[in-house]
């Protein structure tokens, strides 16, 4: 980065932007609020970024998360903060833990799949809220969980039903991916708020921990996911969204001062982006005080993905 550009970004831009609800892109991209578990969606020339919100006062305890935040950008550098748009309280059947979530559009409606702790069924569960616009207002679409721990009794942990990620294939069939320890998916009905058939487990994702994300690029489908603990991000490829999946290697390194790394991958105006979290705010950041970062993602000619280079500079603006 040239001195002039560096000076402009560090000194001039904040002055120019005084009063405007925007922030710089340098990683981590949001300095004034803690963000985790990013899920990005491109809609009508705008990137909407939905995140969790770490509220733990220090790193000695555990996650403290009650709501989800929304940000938007048209260039991946200047972000507008829209504040919290959904909270655990919007799901009457849930009792806490606004963990990882994902928003997807279908037929002009926006479906926000969330991880929460169920109030009456032991363990984590997945709910879904719906809105007519990307910024809401969102409301619980079902009045009950879409997936609860009693539907997946083949594991002996109660946190295996978390981190939902939806995907709509070219033929219009929608799928929901999720899981901790055991990766799972099920078809969604066209209404996006009911499972359509059995819950399947996914083979071919070694060392799977959590944070499934499904996307397609060219002729290939990709499943990225957090592996091991502390987490690296690995990925697998397939010619079909239902597999078989072939593991292709590590995509992103340990996030340093965060045990988790939770990724989201989008294509926007001809470029690909890897959006993830780190323990960003050194020295008060860490595993329970995380911050979202964005770096470029590049494919090889054979469809495999180059290893991510995590930076503090962040990405150049999209034109």
Q: Rule CB under 6 A: which residues touch ligand FUB?
A: 36-37, 52, 63, 99-100, 115, 162-163, 210-211, 260, 262
CB of 108 to ligand FUB, least distance (A): 28
Structure tokens at 104: 């997807």
Strand pairing category for 184-188 and 208-217: unpaired
Query: In the complex with ligand FUB, which residue's Cβ is closer, 52 or 183?
Result: 52
| Minimal distance, residue 258 CB to ligand FUB, in Å | 8
Nearer to ligand FUB, 77 or 167 (CB): 167
Q: How far apart are CA 105 and CA 93, in angstroms?
A: 24
Closest distance of CB 124 from ligand FUB, Å: 8
Min dist. Cβ of residue 299 to ligand FUB (A): 24
Distance from C-alpha of 293 to C-alpha of 272, rounded to nearest angstrom: 14
Indicate the residue among 77 and 161 with the shorter CB distance to ligand FUB: 161
Nearer to ligand FUB, 206 or 244 (CB): 206
User: Could you tell me which of 73, 76, 30 has the C-alpha nearest to residue 53?
Assistant: 30
Q: Is 140 left (phi over 0), alpha (psi -120 to 50) or beta?
A: beta
Using CA atoms, how far apart are residues 280 and 32, in angstroms rounded to an integer?
12
Do residues 145 and 176 touch, judged by C-beta distance below 8 A? no
User: Under a CB-based contact definition with an 8 Å cutoff, are residues 228 and 207 in contact?
Assistant: yes
Nearer of residues 13 and 53 to ligand FUB, judged by Cβ: 53
Residue 55 CA to residue 141 CA, distance in Å, equals 26
Question: Which residues are within 8 A (CB) of 243 and not within 5 positions of it... i.e. 6 or more apart?
Answer: 202, 203, 204
Considering beta carbons, is residue 25 or 292 the nearer one to ligand FUB?
292
Q: Is 16 helix (H, G, I), strand (E, B) or coil?
A: helix
Outline where 187-303 has alpha helix (H).
Answer: none
Nearer to ligand FUB, 140 or 163 (CB): 163
CA distance 219 to 126: 30
Q: How far is the CB of 173 from ligand FUB (least distance, A)?
A: 25
Structure-block tokens of residue 38 = 């990013």
Least CB distance to ligand FUB at residue 20 (A): 29
Shortest distance in whole angstroms from residue 30 CB to ligand FUB: 16
């Amino acid at each position: 980065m040239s001195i002039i550009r560096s000076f402009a970004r560090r000194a001039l831009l904040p002055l120019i932007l005084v009063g405007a609800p925007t922030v710089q892109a340098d990683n981590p991209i949001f300095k004034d609020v803690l963000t985790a578990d990013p899920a990005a969606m491109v809609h009508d020339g705008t990137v909407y970024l939905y995140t969790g919100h770490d509220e733990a006062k220090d790193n000695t305890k555990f996650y403290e998360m009650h709501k989800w935040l929304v940000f938007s950008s048209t260039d991946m550098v200047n972000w507008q903060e829209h504040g919290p748009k959904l909270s655990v309280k919007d799901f009457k059947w849930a009792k806490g833990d606004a963990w990882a979530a994902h928003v997807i559009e279908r037929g002009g409606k926006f479906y926000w799949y969330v991880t929460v702790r169920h109030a009456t069924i032991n363990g984590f569960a997945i709910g879904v809220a719906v809105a007519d616009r990307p910024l809401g207002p969102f409301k619980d679409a079902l009045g009950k969980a879409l997936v609860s721990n009693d539907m997946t009794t083949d594991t002996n942990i109660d946190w295996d039903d978390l981190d939902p990620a939806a995907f709509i294939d070219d033929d219009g069939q929608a799928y929901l991916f999720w899981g901790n320890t055991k990766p799972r998916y099920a078809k969604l009905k066209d209404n996006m708020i009911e499972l359509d058939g059995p819950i399947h487990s996914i083979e071919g994702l070694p060392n799977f921990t959590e944070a499934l994300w499904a996307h397609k690029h060219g002729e290939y489908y990709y499943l990225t996911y957090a592996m091991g603990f502390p987490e690296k991000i690995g990925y697998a490829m397939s010619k079909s969204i239902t597999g078989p999946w072939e593991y292709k290697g590590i995509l992103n390194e340990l996030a340093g001062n965060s045990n988790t790394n939770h990724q989201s991958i989008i294509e926007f105006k001809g470029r690909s982006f890897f959006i993830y979290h780190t323990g960003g705010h050194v020295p008060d950041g860490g595993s329970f005080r995380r911050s979202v970062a964005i770096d470029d993602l590049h494919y090889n000619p054979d469809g495999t993905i180059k290893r991510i280079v995590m930076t503090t500079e962040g990405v150049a603006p999209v034109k």
